[in-house]
Amino acid sequence: MKLQSYEELKQSKYRLSVMLFLFLNIAVSLFYLLPIMSILQNLVAASQLDESVLRQQARSRQAQWQSWLAPISDAQPCLAA
């Protein structure tokens, strides 16, 4: 969806429908993510691992992906080695 069409929808007679749609999307996302967070916490507790070590490992793996997540531009059309 283009930003212009979103702005037009916000001002149109369908504004209530758009806002309800966005609210329901957020609500469904939250209800989907909350049980996952609980499962992850239970898994960490059951494995008896140090949470700080797991956080450090996750941060290092995230850092490895940063170059892949960078936006593509005309100056850099592909992944830099």
For 17-32, how does the pLDDT look when each residue is reduced to its tens digit (9 = 90+)?
888 899 999 999 888 8
- In SS3 terms, 1-62 reads as CCHHHHHHHHHCCCHHHHHHHHHHHHHHHHHHHHHHHHHHHHHHHHHCCCHHHHHHHHHHHH
Q: What percentage of the chain reaches a pLDDT higher than 90?
A: 10
- Please name the residues in contact with 67: beta carbons below 8 A apart, sequence gap of 6 or more: 79, 80
Predicted confidence (pLDDT) per residue in 45-64, tens digit: 888 888 888 889 889 988 88
- Position 70 scores a pLDDT of 72
Q: State the pLDDT at residue 53.
A: 86
